[in-house]
A and B are shown apart, each in its own frame.
Chain A
Amino acid sequence: MSAVPPLAGSNRRFMSGNEAVARGAWEAGCNLAAAYPGTPATEILEFAAHYPEMYTEWSVNEKVSLEVAIGASLAGSRALCAMKHVGLNVASDALMSQTLAGVGAGLVIAVADDVGLSSSQNEQDSRFWGRFAHVPLLEPADAQEAYEYTQRAFELSERFNTPVILRLTTRICHVKGVVSFGERSETSRAEGFVKDPGRLIMTPNVARKRLPLMFEREAEIQRHSESSELNQIMAGSDRRVGFITSGPTYMHVREAYPDAPLIKLGLSYPVPFDKIRELAGQVDRLVVVEEVEPLLETELKAVGIELLGKEILPRLGELSPNVLRPAIARLLGEAVPETAAPVKAPIEIKPPAPRIDPATGANVFPRPPTMCVACPHLGIYYCLSKIRNTTISGDIGCYTLGAGHPWNALDTTICMGASMGIAHGLDKGRVEADRDKKIIAVIGDSTFMHMGMQGLLDITYNKGNVTILLLDNRAVGMTGGQDNPASGRDIHGNEAMKVDFRKLCEALGVKPERIHEVNPYELPTLFTALRNEVKIPEPSVIITNQPCVLIDYYGAQPALTVDDDKCTGCGNCLDIGCPAILVTRRETVVKPNGSEKELAFVKIESGACTGCNLCPKTCGPDAILPLADYIRQ
């Protein structure tokens, strides 16, 4: 094989799987793309927004984004919606009925699984949705295929009158490779929306008639799957093991076993059983390599195909070559290849030492994600950590980090918007032991609009007693600061409606006097508001109103510094949790009563500090001051 030529001309580019999906959709004539941001799928819409021929939007949640896409499809435009795996849980209500109705123009749902859990609350397998909703599922293996399969997905959708799921994983979305691409063709339907109540109004009567049609459709796609060139047997000279692969596992297997026969499933549901039987006849043993759940394994065993799967391969995480090699060597009775030995580590670490990095075997402290320097959430968690006798339900966003050190100020986190309902349940379901517990819910602006508002309405309607901290930082922070209805800008950065959270909370039934807007850098005000509201047995909302430090609404101020002569080593400022505050030395002193106290003297990393002025408010001896003032002294 010759080397790939340089990127001559304009039709080859180094792009991520996410960009490739957007490009593929655009070329397929897609007219509308909608999404709620979610790692690792966020960039699909960010790239889609660069194409003026497509209408694009940040929807308020995944269910709405799918409904918008369904509407566009029925209106005669090819439509795409994109989401992370857990997003399809939210959108599934629309999917499960729309699959009965079918589509108008092509409808593609790109869903990205976070295999290996780089930034999600679970590791669920979206391939289930193909089975559950009886829709075809395409699995690209790299960026080039992400581009091609997106176009194929639109074609399949129209050919078989079905929504199509394009299943991605982190190793597709966030991997860049060389993609050869083409140009856009216009594909919208000439006739526009066609009234068809016997198909589009999903009452029981209609659904009853549509169900057999859906199963017929599934059988038809299954026959197509047997002959589709998306499902290919690739011959190989080493027939001791044949592999069944789909998506990124194809690349892993090909790399580890270049000479093994295999089947690459591009259209992995409905399953092409006969084609897999054909492969089975060519090899000594068959191994199915599928990440997360043993889905194909169970289905193939059920039709009597002998194979191995999760008996020899792990259930969790990626099945990369270094995972496959020892498992297959054991199967063949060969010497198991050594993986890299962990580093010898003579260093001493305090409890909870020793700490071995699970990914690398190194004896190095963990470096978990932290809140940013000057983050507006720092003051909030500082206050929450100082209030006693609380149970705090959290939510999904940067502020989930408040569960960590030094705050340890969250007790639950489950899914988008859950802080509301869970807090209400903690209140209504309390037993005598918790009679005086203060119930607090913490939720960000985006998450509140995504799925939290309904929970608040439930609290007010049912006379709940929860103090809600609504952290409005005017962005979807965790996914990179995307705009939303709280930022006052649309996906293109153009001016848009800006939600008024005070009015919204009032409309949802919170009494006006129980709503406070607070600057989270004003620690005393914030603390007083919080302390007062937890005492009042009614729903109340404290809205914090300072922007995410990573978006352009944030204005950095001159850096602060620590006056060494004044610092007493009390360590109060460390309770803020700002990464710019570093310990320079520790000292143990014996107090007059004989007890020991550890002092921590600090400095501020001036290159990182943006002068938010939060830490001086925790400093008794006034040792923290602007760097410029300190120099003048």
Chain B
Amino acid sequence: MSENKITNILVAGIGGQGVMTAAEILSQTALSQGFDVKKTEVAGMAQRGGVVTSHVRFGTRVLSPAIPPGEADILVGFEPAEALRWISHLRPCGVAMINTTRQEPPVVSLGLYDYPQDPISEIAATGVEYHAFDAGAIARELGNFKLVNTVMLGAISELLPFPAEALKNEILDRFRGRKPTLVEINEKAFELGRQASL
């Protein structure tokens, strides 16, 4: 079964950031490209600001749904400390795409823990390939913080084993039906993410 090459994408962030939606869009695109896909989430109490990860696996035939530690090809980190938390899930030859907008949890506000001083340089110290940019700032400039999701998908779109356009269309199709007013801005967000990662 060695020809069964599986692509593993781990999306990590915080409840409410759109981690699960991003993973769903990746899965649907992979499906439309003819892959077998499995997607699993670890988000017990996702809406309560806890850690959320979603595992997307696609290939000829996918069996176990969870990505084993050290086997992710791409880590999509929606938040720098969360990217640092999950960096060990990446293959040595994998790529981390990281949004540098920080989100401090109450345990940090309360002074119980410190936020890592420089999570990106810690990630750099592990030797993996990474791209870090402020997806949050791009979304904010576009006027909607929820666009972080689309920006991050744009950012990884050149790393996938299918055309970036396929991923973009999957996103835009979601809005074409229900919210056509958001098509243009999502396309812009996607393209800005794509450029930021290059």
Evaluate contact between A258 and B1: CB separation under 8 angstroms. Answer: yes
Binary interface encoding of chain A residues 508-520 relative to chain B, with 1 for a CB under 8 A from any of its CBs, else 0: 0000000000000
Segment 1-47 of B: residues with Cβ below 8 Å from A? 1, 4, 14-15, 24, 27-28, 31-45, 47
Q: Closest B-chain residue to A325, C-beta based?
A: B68
Q: A590: CB under 8 A from chain B?
A: no
The answer to whether A321 and B68 have CB atoms under 8 Å apart is yes
* Least distance between B56 CB and chain A CB atoms (Å): 9
What is the bound-complex CA distance between A343 and B16, given in angstroms? 26
Evaluate contact between A347 and B116: CB separation under 8 angstroms: yes
CA gap between A246 and B115 in the complex, in Å: 42
Residues of B61-75 contacting chain A, CB below 8 A: 61-66, 68-70
User: A340 to B36, Cβ gap below 8 A?
Assistant: no
| Pairwise interchain contact A6-B31, C-beta atoms closer than 8 A | yes
> Could you tell me if B63 and A255 are in contact, using CB atoms closer than 8 angstroms?
yes
Chain B residues whose CB sits within 8 angstroms of the CB of A182 once the complex forms = none
- Minimum C-beta distance from A630 to chain B (A): 19
Q: A118 in the interface, Cβ–Cβ < 8 Å?
A: yes
A550→B68 CA distance, assembly (Å): 33
Contact call A579/B49, Cβ cutoff below 8 A: yes
The answer, among A256, A348, A367, A370, for a CB contact under 8 Å with B114, is A348
Bound-state CA distance A602–B70 (Å) is 39
Chain B: how many interface residues by the 8 Å CB criterion?
65
Which of B49, B85, B106 contacts A357, CB < 8 Å?
A: B85
A435 CB-CB contact with B under 8 Å:
no
A118 touches B44 (CB 8 A): yes
Give every chain A residue within 8 A of B42 (Cβ-Cβ).
Answer: 118
Interfacial chain B residues near A349, Cβ < 8 Å? 113-114
* Shortest CB distance A134–B (Å): 32
The reply to whether A398 and B48 contact each other, CB–CB distance below 8 Å, is yes
Whether the Cβ atoms of B50 and A367 lie closer than 8 Å is yes
**A192 interfacial contact with B, CB 8 Å:** no
* Total residues of chain A contacting the partner, CB 8 A: 78
Binds B, one of A72-80, A172-180, A206-214: A172-180
Q: Taking the complex as formed, is A159 at the interface, i.e. its CB lies under 8 A from any CB of chain B?
A: no
Q: Is the CB of B48 within 8 A of A371?
A: yes
The reply to whether B47 and A360 form a contact with Cβ atoms under 8 Å apart is no
Judged by a CB distance under 8 angstroms, whether A295 is at the interface is: no
Chain A residues near B50 (CB, 8 Å)? 367-370
* Contact present for A14 and B65 (CB under 8 Å): no
Asked if residues B65 and A360 are in contact (CB atoms below 8 Å), the reply is no
- CB distance A320 to B85 under 8 Å? no
CB distance from B49 to the nearest CB of A (A): 4
Binds B, one of A195-203, A277-285, A580-588: A580-588
Could you mark each residue 336-369 of chain A with 1 if its beta carbon is under 8 Å from any beta carbon of chain B, else 0?
A: 0001111111111110110101001111111111
Distance of A242 from chain B, by nearest CB (Å): 18
Contact B84 A255 (CB under 8 A): no
- Verify B66–A171 contact, CB threshold 8 A: yes
- Smallest CB–CB gap between A253 and chain B, Å? 9
* Set of chain A residues within 8 Å of B104, measured between Cβ atoms: 582-583
> B143-183 interface mask toward A, CB cutoff 8 Å, 1 = contact, 0 = none?
00100000000000000000000000000000000000000
Q: Inside 8 A of B39's CB, which chain A residues have their CB?
A: 14, 175-177
The listed residue (B66, B88, B105) touching A340 by CB distance below 8 A is B88
Complex alpha-carbon distance, A550 and B48, angstroms: 11
Which A residues from 1 to 43 make CB contacts under 8 A with B?
1-7, 14, 39
Residues of A within 8 A of B48 (CB): 369-372, 398, 401
Q: Which of A39, A175, A353 meets B113, CB within 8 Å?
A: A353
State whether A344 touches B126 (Cβ < 8 A): yes
Shortest Cβ distance from residue B174 to the other chain A in the assembled complex, whole angstroms: 14
Smallest CB–CB gap between B149 and chain A, Å? 15
Q: Which among A1, A119, A362, A583 has the greatest number of chain B C-beta atoms within 10 A?
A: A362
CB-contact partner of A175 in B61, B65, B107, under 8 A: B65
A577 at the interface (CB under 8 A from B): yes
In contact, A347 and B112 (Cβ under 8 angstroms): no
Are A341 and B107 neighbours in the complex by a CB distance under 8 Å?
Answer: no
Contacts of B107 in A (CB 8 A): 365-368, 405
CB distance from B179 to the nearest CB of A (A): 18
Let me know if A568 is at the binding interface, CB within 8 A. no
Per-residue interface assignment for chain A, residues 72 to 110, with 1 indicating a CB less than 8 Å from any chain B CB and 0 otherwise: 000000000000000000000000000000000000000
The answer to whether the Cβ of B122 comes within 8 Å of any Cβ in the partner chain is: yes
With beta carbons under 8 angstroms apart, the residue of B33, B81, B86, B145 that contacts A365 is B81
**Which residue of B34, B108, B126 contacts A4 across the interface (Cβ within 8 Å)?**
B34
Instruction: Judge whether A347 and B69 touch: CB under 8 Å.
Output: no
13 A-B pairs in the complex with CB atoms less than 8 angstroms apart = A1-B61, A3-B36, A6-B34, A14-B27, A118-B42, A119-B45, A255-B64, A322-B70, A346-B125, A349-B113, A365-B114, A367-B81, A405-B110
Interface residues of A (CB under 8 A from B): 1-7, 14, 39, 117-119, 142, 171, 174-178, 248, 251-252, 254-256, 258, 318, 320-322, 339-350, 352-353, 355, 357, 360-372, 398, 401, 405-406, 478, 480, 550, 574, 577-579, 581-583, 586, 598, 600, 602, 607
Known: A14-B31, A14-B39, A401-B48. 16 other contacts (CB 8 A): A4-B36, A171-B66, A178-B37, A251-B65, A340-B69, A343-B84, A343-B122, A343-B126, A344-B125, A350-B111, A350-B114, A362-B84, A364-B85, A371-B48, A405-B110, A583-B104
